[in-house]
Amino acid sequence: MSPRKLIGARDPFGFRPLCIGKRNNTYFLASESCALDAVDAEFVRDVLPGEIVTIDKNGIHSNTSMCQLKKAPCIFEYIYFARPDSVIDNVSVYNSRIMAGKILAENHPVEADIVIGVPDSGTVAAMGYALGSGIPFGVGFIKNSYIGFFNT
């Protein structure tokens, strides 16, 4: 990043996400689409695996010479790392977690009274498990976001 240009590159396998957003005449690069919402930017597109984008006063310039057919995104982006309100490579993180829970319920059914997720990333998958199994979903753990860490 400099006063004249912004350069972003995504690894050739697309292991980590990268997307482009825009608000008025300002462009943004972010690892998650939900970050664009925080600055009221609109989602433009995902950066392709292997793509290098340069953004300057003339707009977006793309170099796809490092792009390849084989992609290997990190599954933990969808399961754990990314916020559920993100969309990565046109895939909703929320929906992928719901589907993961449903598939888990189909492949590993259990007899239980209630399904409880562990905040934050496990909650949506637990909802999917509840949907797929017919077992009621409940809240058993609440993350306290008001407790901070203090250095003494």
pLDDT in tens, 38-85: 999 999 999 999 999 999 999 999 999 999 889 999 999 998 899 999
φ, ψ for residue 60, nearest 5 deg: -95, 130
pLDDT at 9: 97
- Separation of alpha carbons 36 and 3, rounded Å: 21
Q: How far is CA 105 from its chain centroid?
A: 23
Say if residue 120 is preceded by a cis peptide, omega within 30 of 0: yes
Distances (CA, A) of 114 to 111, 131, 137: 9, 11, 6
For 9, the enclosing helix (H) or strand (E) is: strand 6-9
Distances (CA, A) of 69 to 3, 36, 49, 122: 34, 28, 9, 32
Mean pLDDT, residues 130-138: 97
* pTM of the predicted structure, to 2 decimals: 0.83
